[in-house]
Amino acid sequence: MYFVKTPAGQQAFKERHADLSPRLRSAFLLFDGNRSLAQVLEAISALGVGKDDILPLVTRGWLATREAGGEELQQPCAAPEDGSEVDPASTSRRYQQAYPMAVAITGGLGLKGFRLNLAVEAAVGYEQLAALAPRIRDAAGERAYGPLHKALFGAEAL
């Protein structure tokens, strides 16, 4: 089953509605009509969000179903900081895995990382998230950034 954000859902997100907790916000952003519910749940499994958490968003009218026959959008492929190539087929998977991590890291920075957190939440695809990686590393430090780097670029060393 594929879901898309409704205008009411986008408004609730924009207003930071109380029923849209930070972990649900991360999940909500991934519903673009191109990812199935199973794919989104897999991407955010580390956040502890399950199907039972998503269904109330549908009930409220913040998410609506989409027919599964649509074309998938291809995200442009960005090269990681070390100059190595990233397989275009893996960019979607990498983005889905790295996005919740980036939101958690920048959200944990408090006011210091507020604007960076907004930029991460606005990142629509792999390329945009990869472009924010150096800023996240500078703000959060090497230790906090390491797992995100691995998820984005598949590299152990920074």
Write the DSSP symbol of residue 42.
H
One-letter amino acid of 49:
V
Neighbour-count burial for 105-114, b at 16+ CB within 10 Å, e otherwise: bbbeeeeebe
> So what's the pLDDT on residue 156?
56
Task: Please indicate whether residue 91 or residue 118 has the higher confidence score (pLDDT).
Answer: 118
User: Average model confidence (pLDDT) for the chain?
Assistant: 78
Instruction: Out of 19-33, 51-65, 85-99, pick the least confident.
Output: 85-99
> So what's the pLDDT on residue 137?
92
Write the DSSP symbol of residue 81.
T
Whether pTM > 0.85 for this model: the answer is no
3-state secondary structure of 67: coil
3-state secondary structure of 138: helix
Provide the residue ranges of all domains of the chain, joining segments of one domain with +.
Answer: 2-65, 88-153
